[in-house]
Amino acid sequence: MTEPEFHKLLQRYLIGQCTPEEQALVEHWYDQLEQVEGPALLAQNQAEVEQTIWARLRQNRRLVKPEPRVVPMWQSSPVRWAAALVLLAVSIGLLMLTINRLPVPAHLTPVASANGWLQQTNQTRQVQYFRLPDSSRISLHPGSRLRYHTALAGARREVYLEGEAFFQVSKNPQRPFLVFTNQVVTTVLGTSFRVKAYTAGQDASVAVLEGKVAVQARAGAQLDASPAHPAAQGVLLLPNQQVVYSAARRRLKKELVDRPVVLAPQSFEFEARPVAEVLGALEKAYGVDIVYDKAKLASCTVSITFYDEPLFEKLGLLCKSLGAYYTLADANIIIHSEGCQSQLGG
């Protein structure tokens, strides 16, 4: 792993676009740094923390996987990339499903307000991290504020957000977790997702990394709704999906996130394989629905290899091979094709 790749990994972590293996790896780095350096370092700006982590990784060569001599990692398939991450984690004893602790900057402490409410405000230029009383982990973006009741008491765990935050909610099916903004209410039982709703803007968005999330407009919200029983006027989101609320239109629009992440690594090397097989691999990898005319593409084959291109770039390359094009409708991908060309390849 090179230094640019290392920083790209940290950036993906901050915006919630890491794979579970990458997320565990980054959080362990932060966790170890806190044990060695203490919370004082973690209270510094993000750039200094990242440089310190990188320096320590370089000092201990066992923590850094040597760069491949023949095929650079960024040109390998998603399967090889996932395998490399697993090997890296194993080599430093970090293969784990969850991390129990997230570093807490010393200067980010809740401020008590009236009626037993606490408030976290990020007045820095860096994303700040903290944990709620139920062990849910929050990444609070600059200029954002989160308000919640002491100990998250009550039948529902309710928090109020102004700005942007990434939530990793501790699972508790008996006590739903609700995020209120001026525009929408998001309900989960325990999962990871991002909410963006700045007070200066009229729109809000909710994007899901894992699990299921129920979203509805705040006006007239049905507070007993849940991902298992969403509100009639609400939207149920799955991984790689998001919803955007337009205040002007007073409607929720469900769509795919701008950059879907791989949820289930697949082999992306195809040699004279049916197009349906390629599309099926993309569906499984990204958890998306791809709609196409099965009859028109039934006899079509294609030779194509994907590396680490984003999903939409992969689709563009495939469509170019087929002489086709794709469109997006809600959270679906629609392939438009008149059938096979005389020569397909890629």
Rounded to an integer, what distance in angstroms lies between the CA atom of residue 234 and that of residue 186? 10
- Write the DSSP assignment of 247-292 as a string of letters: TTTTEEEEEE-SSPPPSS----EEEEEEHHHHHHHHHHHHT-EEE-
**DSSP sequence for 153-203:** -SSSEEEEEEEEEEEEPPP-TTS-EEEE-SSEEEEESS-EEEEEE-TT-S-
- Determine the average pLDDT of the residues in 190-202: 87
> What pLDDT was estimated at residue 5?
74
The stretch 53-70 carries a mean pLDDT of 46
Residue 180 pLDDT: 96
Residues carrying CATH 2.60.120.1440, the chain: 111-256
Beta bridge partners of 111: 119
Question: Hey, what amino acid is at 182?
Answer: N
Q: How far apart are CA 100 and CA 106, in angstroms?
A: 18
Q: Does the pLDDT at position 100 exceed 70?
A: no
SS3 63: helix
Q: Say what percent of the chain tops pLDDT 70.
A: 69
Residue range(s) in the chain whose domain bears CATH number 3.55.50.30 = 269-336
Neighbours of 89 (CB within 10 A): 18
Q: Name the more confident of 269 and 77.
A: 269
> Which CATH number among 3.90.550.10, 3.55.50.30, 3.40.350.10, 3.40.50.1980 corresponds to the domain 269-336?
3.55.50.30
Higher pLDDT, 323 or 28: 323
pLDDT more than 90, % of the chain: 52
Q: What is the pLDDT of residues 212-266, one digit of tens each?
A: 999 999 989 999 988 988 888 899 999 999 999 988 888 999 999 999 999 999 9
Q: How many helices (H) and strands (E) does the chain have?
A: 8, 19
Say yes or no to pLDDT of 102 above 60. Answer: no
Smallest CA-to-CA distance from 3 within 70, 71, 78, 53 is with 53
**pLDDT, tens digit, 9 for 90 and up, residues 39-60:** 444 444 555 556 666 665 655 5
pLDDT the model gives residue 276: 96
Exposed, middle or buried: residue 53 (CB in 10 Å: 0-12, 13-18, 19+)? buried
- Range scoring the smallest mean pLDDT among 71-80, 145-154, 197-206: 71-80
Res 230: pLDDT: 87
pLDDT at 88 over 50: no
Nearest-10 crossing angle of helices 46-59, 20-37 = 90
What is the pLDDT at residue 30? 67
pLDDT of residue 344: 43
Task: State the pLDDT at residue 151.
Answer: 85
Q: What is the mean pLDDT of the chain?
A: 79
pLDDT of residue 162: 95
Res 85: pLDDT? 44
Predicted local distance difference test score (pLDDT) of residue 53: 64
Residue 206 has phi, psi (to 5 degrees) of -135, 125
Contact between 234 and 216 under an 8 Å Cβ cutoff? The reply is: yes
Mean pLDDT score, 164-176: 93
324-329: long-range contacts, CB 8 A cutoff, minimum separation 24: 328/255, 328/256
Window from 96-110, 144-158, 301-315 with minimum mean pLDDT: 96-110
Instruction: Give tens-digit pLDDT for 131-160.
Output: 999 999 999 999 999 999 888 888 999 999
Q: Pick the residue with more confidence: 223 or 8?
A: 223
CATH number 2.60.120.1440 is the correct assignment for the domain at 111-256: yes
Helix axes 311-322, 275-286, angle to 10 degrees: 170
CA distance 3 to 254: 36
Query: Terminal CA-to-CA distance of the chain, rounded, Å?
Result: 29
Distance CA 206, CA 96 (A): 28
C-alpha to C-alpha distances, 10 to 46, 165, 166, 210, 316, nearest whole angstrom: 10, 16, 14, 19, 28
CA distances from 70 to 46, 66, 67 (A): 34, 12, 9
Query: Which H helix or E strand runs over 319?
Result: helix 311-322
DSSP state of 114: G
pLDDT score at 97: 33
How remote is the C-alpha of 277 from its chain's centroid?
26
